[in-house]
Amino acid sequence: MTEQVPQTLRIDDEASLPAVRRAVDEAGRSLGFGLVDQTKLMTAASELARNIVLYAWDGKVTIEHSAGAGRRGLRLTFEDGGPGISDLERAMQDGYSTGKGMGLGLPGAKRLAHEFFIDSKPGIGTRVVFVLWRR
Amino acid sequence: MADVHIISINGVLVVTLPAVTDDGTAERLVEQVGARLVELAARAVLIDVSNARIIDSFLGRVLGSLAGAVRLLGAEPVVVGMRPEVAITMVELGMDLGGVATALSIEHGLAGLRVRAGRRM
C-alpha cells in the first residue's frame, strides 16, 4: 500500500507516531535511500513528531520529494500551532529540555539532516524543515 | 502490533524488542521485565534489540531506565544485537545508553556473562 507523496499527516498524540514513521519509511524506500540514511530519516521523523506531541499537542507533517542541483531527496515539514520556542538558540543545544525529553530532539534531528531549518514564534507555533538527500 | 518477548535461558532473561516499539509498549517494558526477573530470580537480562529498526531518544531513555532497574534488582543488564545503522544513528543523535554493557549478539552476550561469572568465583 503505497501512499502518494506529497502527503500530510496530523500529529496530535502518541498514537499518531506509528503512522508518521510508516509513511516516512515508505516515502524513503520509494526514493531508494540506503539503510543508514533510511534509519536516520525514520529516527529524525520520530524525534520531530514526538516534539509536537510533547510540547505543542497538535500539528502536522508534510512529506514531499525535494529536487535540486541534480539531487533527489525527501523533505519533511513539521508545523504546529503550539506555544513556540522563546529561546531558539538554547533549544538547539544538546541537553536543553523544558519537559519530558532528553533534550536531543531538535539538535539531534539537525545532526541527522543534510538541511535543517527551524522557525518559531512564541504564541504562534513552530515550523521545522528536515531534508535528506539521496547519496 | 508487535510486542516484546521475554524468555529465560539458564537464569538469564532474554528480552526481545519488536521492529518498532510504540510508546505504550516501551512504558510497560520495565514493569514486565522487572516482574519476570523477580519471579525467575534471573541473574542477568539480555535486551535483544536486533529486530529494532530505529532507537529514538524516547526508546533510548526507556532502555537506560530498564538497565538501571535491572541493576537495582541485583541482575546484570546487557544490550545485545544492535544493528550497525541504528548504532550510527544513535551516535549522531547524541544518545548513549548510560554506560550499560553491550554485546554483538545474544551468543556474545551469554559468553561475556560466563566470563564475568568465572572471574567472580
Query: What is the tens place of the pLDDT at every residue in A13-29?
Result: 989 999 999 999 999 99
- B57/A102 touch (CB, cutoff 8 Å), yes or no: yes
C-alpha B33/C-alpha B63 separation (Å) is 11
Average pLDDT over residues B59-74: 94
**Cβ neighbours around A11 below 10 Å, total:** 25
C-alpha B66/C-alpha B36 separation (Å) is 13
**ipTM at complex level:** 0.90
Q: How far is A43 from chain B (nearest CA, A)?
A: 6
Residue from A73, A50, A74, A52 nearest A62 by CA:
A74
- The residue to which cell 538527500 is assigned: A133
CA-atom Rg of chain A in angstroms? 14
In a domain, A2, yes or no: no
**Cβ neighbours around B72 below 10 Å, total:** 9
C-alpha A55/C-alpha A57 separation (Å) is 6
Domain extent at residue A89: 7-133
Q: What are A95's three cell numbers?
A: 541537553
Whether the CB of A121 is below 8 Å from some CB of chain B: the reply is: no
CA-nearest residue to A16 within chain B is: B22
For A35-79, write each residue's pLDDT tens digit.
999 999 999 999 999 999 988 878 999 999 999 888 999 999 999
DSSP assignment letter at A3: P
In a domain, A38, yes or no: yes
CA-nearest residue to B88 within chain A is: A36
Fold (topology level) of B5-120:
Transcription Regulator spoIIAA (3.30.750)
In a domain, A1, yes or no: no
In a domain, A74, yes or no: yes
**CATH code of the domain containing A128:** 3.30.565.10
Strands B44-48 and B76-80: parallel
Domain ranges across chain B: 5-120
Q: Please tell me the total count of domains within chain A.
A: 1
C-alpha A52/C-alpha A50 separation (Å) is 5
- Residue A88: its pLDDT value, please? 85
- Residue B5: its pLDDT value, please? 93
